[in-house]
């Protein structure tokens, strides 16, 4: 069930210091528990919208409201690169947000170990990033974003650099985590297939200037799995979303 608004953008425009108008007039409300993809061609302002939602950059005009204020512990962020500290093992990387929030070491260790287990990395606590595959590093990065139990998880093309099989596995595991932990997910991608597989709703964006052009539901039940991925229903949704993306790029 999708509940009350977790984040609401009203008339949001962002112009960077160099004069680039990245997005103009974005209105977007995302409800508690939803899984929403921002889909669009490169340069249409997807990352800009995500970074404004995270409070990493301010809008030039318009309003962004977060439910319950904007306590930073309430938002987790996963970047395209895993961005792990190479000198720290997996456990210490995942502990970092907790330690920064003042959580005692023993409790942080225990919670970080649980977060690593939740992404399938039990037993890899002592591994350093250089000893982990790309997919495993991304799992550590997701564990680090979820260790504070955020209400909202923002992801910026997290799986774009991974091979297809690893990407499918991470898609499945992300949905399992989302269903278990009930966070709200906003996922940036330029992949039609990935957005349809994951999302309950797809917000299609166009470029020059970046703006929202369509907002489409993906009416298919969860849990989703390989049966959905190979179904006629999935193919039909992909066709519809692909057509919307083509319209956005015209
Ligand atoms: P997307 O995520 O859809 O690829 P971005 O939000 O990264 O799009 O970029 C939107 C537009 O803003 C692009 O034209 C990009 O070049 C520009 N842009 C992004 N970040 C900056 C920045 N820090 N300074 C100036 N221009 C930027």
> Strand runs (DSSP E) across 16-105, as ranges?
21-31, 35-39, 61-66, 75-78
**Whether the predicted pLDDT of 68 surpasses 90:** no
Amino acid 5: pLDDT: 92
Give the confidence band of 62 by pLDDT, cuts at 50, 70, 90: very high
**Side-chain half-sphere CA neighbours of 220 within 13 A:** 22
Amino acid 172: pLDDT: 95
**Which residue, among 198, 181, 210, 183, has the nearest Cα to 238 in the 3D structure?**
198
Give the confidence band of 221 by pLDDT, cuts at 50, 70, 90: very high
**Whether the predicted pLDDT of 145 surpasses 90:** yes
One CATH from 3.40.190.10, 1.20.810.10, 3.60.10.10, 3.40.50.300 for 5-67+151-249: 3.40.50.300
Question: Tens digit of pLDDT for each residue in 160-211?
Answer: 999 999 999 999 999 999 999 999 999 999 999 999 999 999 999 999 999 9
Amino acid 1: pLDDT: 61
CA-14 nearest atom, ligand 1:
12
Going from the Cα of 89 to the center of ligand 1, the distance in angstroms, rounded, reads 33
CA-42 nearest atom, ligand 1:
4
**Whether the predicted pLDDT of 229 surpasses 90:** yes
Ligand 1 close to Cβ of residue 16 (< 6 A): yes
Give the confidence band of 131 by pLDDT, cuts at 50, 70, 90: very high
Shortest-distance Cα residue to atom 13 of ligand 1: 43
Ligand 1 close to Cβ of residue 19 (< 6 A): no
Task: Specify the higher pLDDT residue, 111 or 73.
Answer: 111
For the chain, the residue count is 250
Amino acid 69: pLDDT: 59
Going from the Cα of 22 to the center of ligand 1, the distance in angstroms, rounded, reads 6
Amino acid 3: pLDDT: 76
What pTM does this model have?
Answer: 0.95
Mean of the per-residue pLDDT values of the chain: 94
**Whether the predicted pLDDT of 228 surpasses 80:** yes
Shortest-distance Cα residue to atom 16 of ligand 1: 43
What is the C-alpha to C-alpha distance for residues 154 and 157, in angstroms, rounded to an integer?
Answer: 10
Question: Contact 99/105 with Cβ under 8 angstroms?
Answer: yes
CA-51 nearest atom, ligand 1:
6
Ligand 1 close to Cβ of residue 48 (< 6 A): yes
């Amino acid at each position: 069930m999708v509940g009350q608004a977790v984040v609401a953008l009203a008339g949001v425009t962002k112009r960077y210091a160099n004069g680039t108008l990245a997005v103009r007039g974005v209105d977007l409300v995302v409800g508690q528990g939803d899984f929403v993809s921002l889909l669009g061609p490169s340069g249409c302002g997807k990352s800009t919208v995500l970074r404004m939602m995270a409070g990493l950059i301010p809008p030039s005009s318009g309003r962004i409201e977060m439910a319950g204020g904007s306590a930073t512990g309430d938002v987790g962020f996963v970047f395209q690169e895993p961005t792990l500290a190479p000198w720290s093992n997996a456990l210490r990387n995942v502990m970092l947000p907790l330690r920064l929030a003042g959580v005692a070491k023993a409790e942080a260790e225990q919670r970080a170990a649980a977060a690593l287990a939740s992404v399938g990395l039990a037993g890899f606590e002592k591994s350093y990033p250089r000893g982990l595959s790309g997919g495993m590093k991304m799992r550590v990065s997701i564990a680090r974003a979820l260790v504070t139990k955020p209400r909202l998880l923002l992801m910026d093309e997290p799986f774009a650099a991974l091979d297809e099989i690893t990407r499918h596995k991470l898609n499945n595991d992300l949905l399992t985590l989302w269903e278990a932990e009930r966070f709200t997910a906003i996922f940036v991608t330029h992949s039609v297939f990935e957005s349809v597989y994951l999302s309950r709703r797809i917000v299609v964006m166009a470029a020059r200037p970046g703006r929202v052009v369509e907002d489409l539901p993906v009416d298919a039940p969860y849990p989703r799995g390989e049966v959905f991925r190979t179904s006629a229903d999935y193919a039909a949704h992909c066709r519809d979303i692909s057509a919307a993306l083509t319209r956005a790029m015209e």
